Amino acid sequence: MDAKESILAIDVVVLPPQPVMEKAKQLNGIFRQGIEGRSFALDDTHVPHITIFQLYARASDLENIFARVEKSMGNFPISKDLDMTGIAAGPVFAGLHLPSFAVESAELRAFHKDIANGMADYCVDTSGGPSYFYRDEKEEVNQASMDWVKNFGTNSSHAKYFPHITLGAAEAAAVERVISDPQHAQPFAFAADSVCVYQLGNNCTCRKLLWKKDLSSPSPLNSSE
């Protein structure tokens, strides 16, 4: 591999519809209370999403990756019936939980499996680095984020895959309060909006849109140039 070749931390994702986005942002606001400086707001550059597969990839492979994702979409259509089954405490990054809506769908799991297999040819074996992530000026990338992408294929895919929508960062006590509140943890069904590829930011947030295909549109949007 050319030492000068660009590598990006990327995420193949499914985006939920706007009402689910708003639910996620509402809980994100609750979780951020009192820890704003250590957390992040869900917004247009920290987009609520369902991760399908994360990897380090060469910039020169992006077009092939987009084509492979679109092929999987044709082979494994994503059901309009996705179920939010509850709120999970999530992993701990830099001392804070990353709570999430747990999502279940047999079709989503089949899509993940096909994408995971398809991305094997494009995964770059690297320990990662801040330059692979999308960052604001002077923003740091924690080690947990870099390790998560590096180990996603081993630790978070196939039988270990857990589809979810991350709701931000939170202290353990806040997570427990929200999980125990029926108002917030009530299950609901929703339809997926689109499939995208993003460049990841700190805490494995979706920061920069590279490619998007609406589930209702035949033509993808390529934003990588």
Instruction: Look at residue 223 and tell me if it is in a domain.
Output: no
Instruction: Look at residue 121 and tell me if it is in a domain.
Output: yes
Instruction: Look at residue 1 and tell me if it is in a domain.
Output: no
Instruction: Look at residue 82 and tell me if it is in a domain.
Output: yes
Domain that residue 73 falls in: 7-218
Contacting residues for 136 by C-beta, under 8 A, at least 6 apart: none
Instruction: Look at residue 224 and tell me if it is in a domain.
Output: no
The CATH number of the domain where 112 resides is what?
3.90.1140.10
**Whether 148 contacts 132, CB under 8 Å:** no
**10-residue averages of pLDDT along the chain (225 residues):** 78 96 95 89 95 98 98 86 93 92 94 97 94 93 95 97 95 94 91 96 96 76 55
Q: Angle 158-161-167 (CA atoms, 0-180°, nearest 5)?
A: 160
* DSSP-derived secondary structure letter, 17: P
Number of independent structural domains in the chain: 1
Instruction: Look at residue 2 and tell me if it is in a domain.
Output: no
Q: What is the pLDDT of residue 15?
A: 96
Q: What is the pLDDT of residue 69?
A: 97
Q: What is the pLDDT of residue 37?
A: 83
Q: How far apart are CA 190 and CA 200, in angstroms?
A: 25
Q: What is the pLDDT of residue 36?
A: 83
Q: Is the dihedral of CA 87, 156, 78, 204 positive or negative?
A: positive
CA-based nearest residue to 11, from 129, 132, 121, 96: 132
Q: What is the pLDDT of residue 145?
A: 95
Instruction: Look at residue 225 and tell me if it is in a domain.
Output: no
Instruction: Look at residue 67 and tell me if it is in a domain.
Output: yes
